């Protein structure tokens, strides 16, 4: 299963951890930042129920719109 939202297409982003000390920045390392995806059952217009992987931002928008 790929980590991509089925509605908005949000996927992993690049992040950076910075190592700091009292003298300043010692170095950094890169890592992927994963989106918060949930499995949700959505009822489509024709009454068919479909299971989709959706980010929490899209879930919040669907609740506000009453879907």
Res 65 pLDDT > 80 = yes
- pLDDT for 15 equals 92
Tell me the domain boundaries of the chain.
13-65
Per-residue pLDDT tens for 39-62? Answer: 999 998 899 999 999 999 999 998
pLDDT at position 12 over 90: yes
Helix, strand, coil distribution of the chain in percent, nearest 5: 15, 50, 35
Residue 66 pLDDT greater than 80, yes or no: no
């Amino acid at each position: 299963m790929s980590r991509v939202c089925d509605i908005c297409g949000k996927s992993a982003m690049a992040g950076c951890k910075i190592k700091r000390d009292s003298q300043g920045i010692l170095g950094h390392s890169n890592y992927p930042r994963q989106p918060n995806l949930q499995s949700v059952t959505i009822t489509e217009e024709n009454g068919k129920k479909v299971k989709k992987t959706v980010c929490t931002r899209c879930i919040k928008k669907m609740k506000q719109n009453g879907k």
